[in-house]
Amino acid sequence: MDAVEKATETQLQNIQKRSGKTLEQLFDIIRSSGLTRHSEIREMLKSELNMGYGDANALALTYLKTLEQDSKKSGDLSKEADALDEIYTGKNASLRPIHEKLMVTLATFGPFETIPKKGYLSLRRKKQFAMIGPGSKSRLEVGINMKGVDETARLVAMPAGGMCQYKVWLSNPEDADDELFAWIRQAYDAAN
C-alpha cells in the first residue's frame, strides 16, 4: 500500500470512529439519498452528518470508487462513459439522472457486466437480466428478463421472442422505486 492509500485508509477509519458508523452504514446513508454525483454526495454528508469538507470528500470518492468496482466485472469504464454520453445527448439528456439513479441501486445487487449497445445499456450476469435506455424523449425504458410474473399496468409484458419479457417506463427518478428494484432483483437472481 502506497502512502496515499495508507492516508486514505487512516482517514476512513477516523471517519468511522467520529461518526460511530461503519463504512457500510455510511454507504447505506449515501445509497438511500439517491444522489449519484460526487459534489452532491459530499454536500449531503457535510449537511446531514456534519462532516468536514475533507472527510465528506474522501467518503464520497471512496463510495463512488466502490460502486465502479462492484458494478463492473470487466471492460473499460471509459467506453461505457462514452456510450452513455452518446445515448444521453440532445433530446435524451434529461433521462440520464434516471439512468444514474437506477445504476447506483443496481450496483448494490452484486457483480454484473454493463455492456453498451447502440441506444441502450445491457446488464448481464451469465445472461442478460435487464436493459436500460431511452424509450422516448421523456421516458426511460427498462427491459426486464424474468418469468412467472403477472403483467400489471406498470409492468408491461412484451411479445415472445423479444430481448426482454417485460418493460417498465420511467419518467422521473422517483419512478425508480422498490417495486421496480424487486422486479429487477428477481431477474438478476435468475440470471446467475
- Taking the C-alpha atoms of residue 78 and residue 75, their distance in angstroms, rounded to an integer, is 9
Of 165, 171, 157, nearest in space to 190 by CA? 165
Average pLDDT for residues 84-102, to the nearest whole number? 90
Domain that holds residue 112: 77-190
Residue labelled with grid coordinates 468496482? 69
Note if the pTM is more than 0.85. Answer: no
> Is 130 in the same domain as 146?
yes
- Which residues lie across from 170 on neighbouring strands? 140
Query: What Rg do the C-alpha atoms of the chain give, in angstroms?
Result: 18
pLDDT in tens, 18-66: 999 999 899 989 988 888 888 899 999 999 999 999 999 899 989 888 8
Residues 60 and 121 in one domain: no
The mean per-residue pLDDT over the stretch 95-110 comes to: 91
**HSE of 64 in the Cβ direction (CA atoms, 13 Å)?**
17
In this structure, the answer to whether residues 65 and 119 fall within a common structural domain is no
Instruction: State residue 82's pLDDT score.
Output: 74
Determine the straight-line distance between the first and last CA of the chain, rounded to whole angstroms. Answer: 34
Q: How many structural domains comprise the chain?
A: 2
Same domain, 22 and 107: no
Cell numbers for 155, please give them: 409492468
Q: Choose between 84 and 188: higher pLDDT.
A: 188
Contact 145, 191 (CB under 8 A): yes
* 89, 114: one domain: yes
Same-domain check for residues 108 and 127: yes
Query: What pLDDT sits at residue 75?
Result: 46
- pLDDT of 58-82, one tens digit each? 999 898 888 766 655 444 445 567 7
Residue 2 dihedral angles phi and psi, to the nearest 5°: -80, 175
Determine the 3-state secondary structure of 34 from DSSP: coil
Asked whether residue 83 falls in the same domain as residue 66, the answer is no
* Same-domain status, 63 and 85: no
Query: Do residue 100 and residue 179 come from a single domain?
Result: yes
State mean pLDDT over 146-152: 93
**Same domain membership, residue 140 and residue 177:** yes
5-9, 47-51, 94-98: least confident range: 5-9
Please report the pLDDT score of residue 69 as a whole number. 66
Which of the listed residues 28, 49, 71 is the one where a domain comes to its end? 71
| Three-state SS at 109 | helix
Q: How confident is the model over 77-96, as a mean pLDDT? A: 81
Distance (Å, rounded) from C-alpha 150 to C-alpha 159? 14
49 & 117 share domain: no
What residue ranges in the chain does DSSP mark as E strands?
113-117, 120-124, 128-134, 140-144, 156-157, 166-170
Domain end position, chosen among 43, 71, 99: 71
Give just the sign of the alpha carbon dihedral 96, 101, 104, 106.
Answer: negative
Question: Which of residues 21, 42, 71 is at a domain's end?
Answer: 71
